[in-house]
Chain A
Amino acid sequence: KAGVTQTPRYLIKTRGQQVTLSCSPISGHRSVSWYQQTPGQGLQFLFEYFSETQRNKGNFPGRFSGRQFSNSRSEMNVSTLELGDSALYLCASSAGPGADETQYFGPGTRLLVL
C-alpha cells in the first residue's frame, strides 16, 4: 500500500498570505489528523477529520481550518499567515474510531513564512 502523501513538500510564503496544504491518506483509511511541529513546541494537534466531519480540534486560532473530502483526502488552510506559522505540518491517517487507531504519518510540508 502506498503511504500517506503530502503536497507540497516545501513552501515559502509571506506574511498576510494564505496557504493550502494537501494530504492523501493510506488507501482505506478514513481518519486524517493534522499537526504542527516546531522546535521546542513538539507536536501540536490541529484537528482530526473522519468521514468528512471534524472529530477533534486543537487549540489553534480560527485562521487554521481544514476539510475532508468524500475520498478521505484532506486539506488544511491557513489564512493571514504570521511569521510564527513557520513550521513542519504533518498529516497522519488511521482507519478511524472503532478500528485500528494507529496513526501513520506523511513526510510533512515545511512552511516558511517571510
Chain B
Amino acid sequence: AQSVTQLGSHVSVSEGALVLLRCNYSSSVPPYLFWYVQYPNQGLQLLLKYTSAATLVKGINGFEAEFKKSETSFHLTKPSAHMSDAAEYFCAVSDPGNNRKLIWGLGTSLAVNP
C-alpha cells in the first residue's frame, strides 16, 4: 500500500532563507503528487501538483517541487522565505491501487523567524 513520509514535523527558518520541506512516497509507480498549505483556522489550499508532465513543478507563492523517481521523493522548496509562509504543509499522493484515494503525510509546521 502507498504511504507518505514527511521528514520533520517542525521546520524553522529565518526570513529570506531557503525553505526545504521533505516528502517521500513508497510506491514504485509514479503517482499523482500534491503539496497543500494550511494557514491557521483555514482549510487546505493547493500549492502545486505533479502529473508526470514535468519533474520540476512550479506552484503558487514562489514554491516549487521536484519529482525524483529514483529517490521516491517530492520535496518542496522556496528560495527565500517570507513571514507569510508560516503555515502547515501537507504532502499527498494519489494511490492508483486504492481507487486513487489520496494518502496524506502528517504535515510539517513551518515557522519563519524575523
Give the chain A neighbours of B99 by CB distance below 8 A. 48, 55-56, 97
CB-CB nearest in chain A for B104? A43
Q: Which 10 A-B pairs have the closest CB atoms?
A: A105-B43, A42-B106, A105-B44, A43-B104, A107-B43, A56-B101, A56-B99, A108-B43, A106-B43, A42-B107
Report the minimum CB–CB distance from A9 to chain B (whole Å): 10
Q: Does A81 interact with chain B (Cβ within 8 Å)?
A: no
Instruction: Contact check, A107 vs B90: say whether CB atoms are below 8 A apart.
Output: no
Instruction: Contact check, B43 vs A43: say whether CB atoms are below 8 A apart.
Output: no
Q: Which label, helix, strand, loop or mixed, suits the secondary structure of the B interface?
A: strand
Q: Which of B45, B49, B90, B94 has a CB less than 8 Å from the CB of A43? A: B90
Instruction: Report B12-51 CB contacts with A as 1/0, cut-off 8 Å.
Output: 0000000000000000000010101000001111100100
Chain B residues proximal to chain A, CB less than 8 Å = 32, 34, 36, 42-46, 49, 90, 94, 98-102, 104-107
CB-CB nearest in chain A for B103? A45
Q: Which label, helix, strand, loop or mixed, suits the secondary structure of the A interface?
A: strand
Q: A90-B43, A105-B36 provided; 15 other pairs, C-beta below 8 A?
A: A4-B43, A33-B102, A42-B104, A42-B105, A43-B90, A45-B102, A48-B99, A48-B101, A90-B44, A97-B100, A103-B34, A103-B102, A104-B46, A107-B42, A107-B43
**Interface size, A (range):** 10 to 19
The 17 sampled A-B contact pairs (Cβ below 8 Å) are A4-B43, A42-B106, A43-B90, A43-B104, A45-B101, A45-B102, A48-B99, A48-B101, A56-B101, A90-B43, A90-B44, A101-B94, A103-B46, A105-B45, A106-B43, A107-B42, A107-B43
Chain A residues proximal to chain B, CB less than 8 Å = 4, 33, 42-43, 45, 48, 55-56, 90, 92, 97, 101-108
Which of A45, A97, A101, A107 is most buried by chain B, counting CB atoms within 10 A of its CB? A101
